[in-house]
């Protein structure tokens, strides 16, 4: 863990850029699902929510979907953190994100005005599903294990931040578990659930948990009052 105690630490360009990187990752994560819905309505005359966020690859929002995911991947690649574990997690997250973007999912019923028929991508779909699952696991690890590392001294605000990190990381894992449960046991047995697009909303919730963690990490909220040090907090 690295600590800088100079009074001008927060004004240093490299520190400001690093905080902005974290904030940008958080904002992109939160806005991705909302952008897919709103953009599809405005530019594609499609008011139906798709089965998953990834299904928007097959709509008029394809380029936006790929662009946002690639931007998240780029920022994760650039995120080196304070030790090798941070760098490894960022690199893995970037790789899995790129696989999600460039190995598109398959689409089955029910169809919408945006997607008129089935799309079966075979092995590419499998790569996409595995990559998406691993991507969410990496995001959970950031919140649960990397963002919660103790700073010196441990402040009350840091302890509060850690509670949010643990909560958001757990939330991502719960969403991922529910998605797996749905695929394995509910999708074929309870077809009526498809009308509610459970995968899309679980993915959206997981992305919001991810985005909120990075906004806190980027010192958007819950900063230490009067703090003049930069730590891995």
pTM for the whole thing?
Answer: 0.89
Banded model confidence at residue 6, pLDDT cuts 50, 70, 90: very low
Separation between Cα atoms, residue 36 and residue 59, nearest integer Å = 9
**Bond from prior residue into 136 cis (ω within 30 degrees of 0):** no
Contact call for residues 144 and 169 (beta carbons, < 8 A): yes
What distances in angstroms separate CA 57 from CA 42, 73, 74, 95, 162, one per listed residue?
16, 17, 19, 18, 35
Among candidate residues 156, 103, 170, the one with its CA nearest the CA of residue 131: 103
Banded model confidence at residue 231, pLDDT cuts 50, 70, 90: very low
- Digit-coded pLDDT (tens) for 86-133: 999 999 999 999 999 999 999 876 667 788 678 999 999 999 999 999
Helices (H), the chain: 13-44, 62-78, 84-102, 123-141, 156-181, 198-217
Share of the chain above pLDDT 90, in %: 67
User: 230 — phi, psi (to 5°)?
Assistant: -110, 120
Residue 67: which residues within 8 A CB-CB, separation 6 or more? none
The predicted pLDDT at position 1 comes to 42
Contact call for residues 229 and 62 (beta carbons, < 8 A): no
The separation between CA 65 and the C-alpha centre of its own chain, rounded to angstroms, equals 13
User: In the predicted model, is pLDDT for residue 148 greater than 80?
Assistant: yes
**Bond from prior residue into 153 cis (ω within 30 degrees of 0):** yes
Separation between Cα atoms, residue 192 and residue 220, nearest integer Å = 41
The predicted pLDDT at position 228 comes to 47
149: left (phi over 0), alpha (psi -120 to 50) or beta: beta
The predicted pLDDT at position 111 comes to 67
Contact call for residues 147 and 165 (beta carbons, < 8 A): yes
- Comparing 80 with 66, the larger pLDDT belongs to 66
User: 143 — phi, psi (to 5°)?
Assistant: -70, -40
The predicted pLDDT at position 100 comes to 98
User: In the predicted model, is pLDDT for residue 5 greater than 50?
Assistant: no
* Mean predicted lDDT score pLDDT of the chain: 88
Separation between Cα atoms, residue 146 and residue 81, nearest integer Å = 9
């Amino acid at each position: 863990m690295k600590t800088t105690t100079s009074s001008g630490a927060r004004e240093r360009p490299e520190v400001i850029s690093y905080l902005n990187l974290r904030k940008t990752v958080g904002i992109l994560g939160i806005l991705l699902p909302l952008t897919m819905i709103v953009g599809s309505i405005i530019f594609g005359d499609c008011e139906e929510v798709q089965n998953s966020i990834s299904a928007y690859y097959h709509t008029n929002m394809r380029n936006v979907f790929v662009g946002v995911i690639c931007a998240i991947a780029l920022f994760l690649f650039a995120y080196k953190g304070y030790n090798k574990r941070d760098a490894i997690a960022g690199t893995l997250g970037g790789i899995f994100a790129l696989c999600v973007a460039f190995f598109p999912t398959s689409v089955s019923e029910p169809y919408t005005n945006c997607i008129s028929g089935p799309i079966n991508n075979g092995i590419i779909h499998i790569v996409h599903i595995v990559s998406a699952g691993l991507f969410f696991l990496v995001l959970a690890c950031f919140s649960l294990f990397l963002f919660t590392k103790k700073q010196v001294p441990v402040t009350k605000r840091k302890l509060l931040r850690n509670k949010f990190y643990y909560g958001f990381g757990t939330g991502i894992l719960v969403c991922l578990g529910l998605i797996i449960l749905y695929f394995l046991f509910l999708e074929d047995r309870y077809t009526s659930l498809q009308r509610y697009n459970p995968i899309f909303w679980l993915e959206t919730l997981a992305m919001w948990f991810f985005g909120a963690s990075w906004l806190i990490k980027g010192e958007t909220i819950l900063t230490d009052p009067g703090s003049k040090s930069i730590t891995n907090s």
